[in-house]
Structure 1
Amino acid sequence: MDVWVDILTPKQVLYFWPVVEKLRDKGHEVLVTARRYEQLDWLISRINLDIKVIGEFGGETLYGKLLSSTRRQLELLELFREDKPRIVLSSGSIEASRISYGLGARHILASDTVHSPVNRICVPLSELILTPRFIPIKEWLRYGAKKGMIKRYRSLDPVAWMKRISTFQESYMEIDLPENYILVRTPESKASYILGKGLEEVIKLINIITKLEEYSIVVLTRYREEANLIREKLPKGIIIIEKPILAIPLIKKASLVLSGGGTMTQEAALLGKPTIMFYPGKLPAVHRFLARLGLIKRIPPSMLHRVPYIAAQLLSEKSKSKLAAKAEKLMRTLEDPAEFIYRYVNSLLT
């Protein structure tokens, strides 16, 4: 076997999808694995990557995550009893990095989430780290990385799929949306780097922005329990999208994006949409970069009351025009991350 790619999140499906296709077109044997996960299952069913689903998401507790990861590692290991991969590619899979080390395979970490605690395990077990150049090298060095193993691309990860997104056009045509709306994205409250933070802020934020009466509010949730909680605590009339769906078409039609998630913030910024990020943790490096360019505004949880004021500024015609021009200029300078990753993996196989 030439390459094993392990996928854990919807973003990683989109990120690695063109890489896998390029490697297979080149004649390499590529195994793609994923886990059962509420946010991931729908996308696996829509993308033609021949993905083998092994194990499941561990939920919101540290115990559950550890138990699920440990069981999954054993199940994955059985796949390589007869034939081990030469290259293992992941975006922070503890199971993939641990198995690659144990089998003597070469693990490549392709990631923009330098803030994730999984890097304490994944980075020391990796041969290469492929990452956006907008992340300072020192942020990877603290996990034990060596400068020579860090290879940086001039891009942001969503660029890998933003030009290819029309493949999934049919998946969002069925949603009936109002003409003027504010799109709210909940934080990934079950992620290991947040663990339960963010939902209270979402409810508080939505209550605040209902003052912007000329706009409808559309909330893109991640989990059923999130959607149920929002229904219980907020007034009727708010549109809640609880089934997993690609965000880009919703972003394009929105007047304003309020995001607690990292990936959707990047997508909105690159599309030139007025964007306010209310991420509950320390601002990641790629978002600090976007904030410096003026493509996003960051509001800490303690200052949510200022959102209507900042929103009014961002929604002015002059501001929207500037944002669109900045985003277009940035996109012209960014390379394709999928092509960058493909070149490195292919070079190690030839």
Structure 2
Amino acid sequence: MSQDLLAEFVSAVPMPALMVDQTERIVAANTDATTLLGQNIQGRHFATILRQPQVIETIEQSLRNKGSSTTRHLSNDGAQDTTFEVQCRYMSEIAGGAVLAIFQDVTHLEQASQMRRDFVANVSHELRTPLTALMGFIETLQGPARDDEAARDRFLQIMMDEANRMNRLVGDLLSLNRVESEERVRPKNNLELTELLQSTLTSLRPLAEDASVTLSLNAPQDPVSLIGDSDQLRQVFTNLVENAIKYGSSGGIVDVVLTLSERDAAVRGPAARVQIIDQGPGIDVVHLPRLTERFYRADSHRSRQLGGTGLGLAIVKHIVNRHRGRLRVESELGQGATFTVILPYGAGEH
């Protein structure tokens, strides 16, 4: 095969690819390979270009055994670490016998696998803490506190609190799984948004009164009808208002403001904006980009004290995504926080 034909063959591979002949030099490389490994690599010894021992050994093995083998190549694209699966195939009819090495980007698979590992680790940690407490109190009640009525009542109350914590966590995990599975399915039912917000605030008023917080709704007089899942949107606003009551209670008031716009850049069309505004201590800006991550907490100790599972805002994000909407968070320390849910409205929602 001529050099031009060889170069054309390697260039046709739709991912980084290079050819190494029996002299262990790179005899052809496509544009994707030079982008990944550097310019002017053709004609050079492959070990001086790849440098990673496992990749070098795999190519040498394919040349020696005239067979196929696979390994991993680790790199960085300037923004993140990347992982490539390197598939080596010996081709006896090309260049007197050569190895074609193809680099398949599997970074997304590695990231997904890491996310699963992190998720399992987080769930295990969140469950282990209350379970450890329960086991400790049970052991105490079976032993030293067996006949101590006051201690028994106190411990049983703590055990109930820990069991409720586990129950909330399991409930949120099931809810998160459900909303993730439905995220690509568009809602089809009509709902009246103002009525839904009024109902949500009514159900949360006892919690607000206990925290000495006043709930206020500012919405248009005319009905605001849109297509959505009323149960899921109720869950969104319940979560956000409840958070505002718990974490922003020092401000004494939580405002819920519903406004309409003929064109909103966030959804590229008519939109209904629901803002949940508190006057509390606010959130440091360093936390804002990560608030919707599973189990991420800006204040872990306070969140656990208040019964938070660290999954609420992740659930909110997936529900808003299902409605083709957007979630925005604005806050500064000492300035309160504003959570804004932007939903397609009117002609723009179809």
The structure with higher relative contact order (CA 8 Å, sep 6+) is 1
Same fold, judged at TM 0.5 (above): no
Q: TM-score, normalised by structure 2?
A: 0.21
Q: TM-score, normalised by structure 1?
A: 0.21
Larger Rg: 2
